[in-house]
Amino acid sequence: MGKLRMTLTNRTLKCTLATAALVGFGLTGCTHTDDIGAVHAASNTVIEAEASSQVAAIAADPKIRAAMKTIEGMNQLNVDRLITLTEIPAPPFHEEKRAAEFAKRLKSAGLTDVSVDEVGNVIGRRPGQKGDRTIAVVAHLDTVFPAGTDVTVRREGNVYRAPGIGDNTRGLVILLSLVDALEAHNIETAADILFIGSVGEEGLGDLRGVRHLFREGGPKIDSFMAIDGGADDRVVIDAVGSSRYRVTFSGPGGHSYGAFGRAHPHQALSETITGFTQYARRITQGEPKATFSVGRIGGGTSINSIPFTSWMEVDMRSTDPAKLARLDAAFQKAVHEALEKENKSRLAGEALTVEVKSVGQRPPGRADLEASLIHNVGVAMQSLGIEPQFVASSTDSNIPISLGIPAVTLSRGGISKNAHAPNESWENVDSHLAIQSALLAILAEAEMM
C-alpha cells in the first residue's frame, strides 16, 4: 500500500503515513491532541499490524469465503426483511411490536438464547467457545416517527421509501444477516456475541436501551459495535455528547397596558439567550468542537398581554466532557442571572419562577485509538476496498465510549437518504459490503476459532 491518509473529522488532525510498510489507515502517529508520542505511535503500528494479519487470515479461510458468498446471495431476502420490519411501526417509547418480531427472527436464524430485557431491548446470545469476552452488535429498534405515521414501503426501482427504512430498520436486517452467515457456515468464535435490538436511541429516548445495558450489574460487554450509519466509509469512534434543556419562565401575566411593570417572562427568556450566547461563544472557540443552539422558543397569550409563560429548548454538544460541562454551567448561570435581573427590575406583582428541565443528557467521549476494535474495523473495511473515515457522532455508542469501553458505529450499507424525514429512502446498492465488513471485524474482535 502506498501513502494513506485519513481524516478525523471534528479533530484538527490530518495524519499522513510517511512509511507504509504496514497496512495503515493513518491512526499511526495520531493522537487526540497534537502531542504525538513516539510510544503511542509505535504501539499503534503494532496493533494495526496485528489487526491486518488477523483480518487477512480470517478473509482467506474457506468458511469465510463461503460466508461472504452467502451474504451476497441474501440480497432479496434482506429486501423482504427490510419491508416487513419497516412496516411494523416502532414509534418512540413503543418498540414492542417490532421487538417481538425481531426476537422471533433472531430465534429462527438459529440463536437459542433470545430474551427481552426490562426496558425492551432484544438480546440474542451466540455463545463463544471460551466465553471469557463478550462482543455486542447493536441496532436500534425505534424510529423518530410518532404512532399513526404511514410506514408503507413504496418501491421505485432499487429505491425503497418509508419512514425509518434506513434509520434504523436496515441496521436490524444487518444483524439478522450476520447471524445467518455465522450459522450457515458453523463459524465459531472464542468470545460470546450478543446481537441486540436496542430501544430508545432516538431523540427523547435518550439512549435508554443502551444506557440500561451498561447499568451496574448488567451483562459484561468488552467491545461494542452499533450498526447505524448512513455512508459506507464512515466509522464513528468519538461520541458527541449533548445536554438538552427545556426552560420555562412563569409569572402572573396581565394586560400589557394595565399591568405594565409586572415581571415579564419573555424578557427573562431573551435575557437568558443573550447572556448564554456571550458566555457560550467564548467556550466554543477552538478545538475540540463544541456547539450550542436555542432550537425552539414559545409562549404568550396575545399581542396586548404580558405572557404567563415563556419557554425555550436548548441543545449543547461536544465530544469533550469538560467543554460540555462548561457550557452547561454557563447556561444555568445565564438562566439564574436573567431571572434575578427581571425580578429585580419589576415594578409590581409577583416574582417570576423558572423551571429548568433536563430533556436529554448524552455523555460525550473520545476513542482510545489503541483499541483493537478500531483497527479491526478499519482493516476489515480496507480489505473490501473501503477507505474508512473516522468521525464523531451521537449514537448508541456514546454510552460505552463514555465509559471507556471500545465502541464504534458502522454503516448499514446501501445508500440512506432523508433520515428522520417522512420521505426517507434506502437504495439497494452494494449493500452486501457493509455486512461483509462487519462480519470480518466481528470475527477479528471475537477471535474466530
Task: Say how many C-beta atoms besides its own lie within 10 A of residue 360's C-beta.
Answer: 17
CB of 373 to Zn ion, least distance (A): 20
Please state whether beta strands 134-140 and 192-198 pair in parallel, antiparallel, or not at all (unpaired): parallel
Tell me which residues touch Zn ion (CB under 5 A): 167-168, 228
CA dist., res. 395 & res. 383, Å (int): 25
Type of residue numbered 204: L
DSSP-based three-state secondary structure for 247: strand
3-state helix, strand, coil split of the chain in percent (to 5) is 35, 25, 40
The CA radius of gyration of the chain, in Å to the nearest whole number, is 25
Instruction: Please identify, using beta-carbon distances, which residue of 192 and 228 lies nearer to Zn ion.
Output: 228
CB of 163 to Zn ion, least distance (A): 12
Residue pair 321/242 in contact (Cβ under 8 Å)? The answer is no
Alpha helix segments (H runs only) across 109-244:
171-184, 208-213
Helix axes 432-446, 372-383, angle to 10 degrees: 140
CB of 393 to Zn ion, least distance (A): 10
CA dist., res. 225 & res. 375, Å (int): 13
The residue among 411, 417, 412, 413 whose CA lies nearest residue 156 is 417
Instruction: Please identify, using beta-carbon distances, which residue of 200 and 254 lies nearer to Zn ion.
Output: 200
CB of 335 to Zn ion, least distance (A): 31
Residue pair 228/205 in contact (Cβ under 8 Å)? The answer is no
Instruction: Please identify, using beta-carbon distances, which residue of 1 and 421 lies nearer to Zn ion.
Output: 421
CA dist., res. 227 & res. 286, Å (int): 31
CA dist., res. 161 & res. 164, Å (int): 9
What are the backbone angles phi and psi of residue 426, rounded to the nearest 5°? -135, 130
Instruction: Please identify, using beta-carbon distances, which residue of 25 and 145 lies nearer to Zn ion.
Output: 145
Kindly state the DSSP code that residue 262 receives in the 8-state scheme. Answer: B
CB of 230 to Zn ion, least distance (A): 9
Residue pair 225/379 in contact (Cβ under 8 Å)? The answer is no
Residue pair 52/23 in contact (Cβ under 8 Å)? The answer is yes
Q: Which residues pair with 315 in a beta bridge?
A: 244, 293
The three three-digit cell numbers of residue 161, written as one number: 421509501
The three three-digit cell numbers of residue 334, written as one number: 445565564
The residue among 370, 373, 365, 371 whose CA lies nearest residue 135 is 373
CB of 201 to Zn ion, least distance (A): 6
Kindly state the DSSP code that residue 337 receives in the 8-state scheme. Answer: H
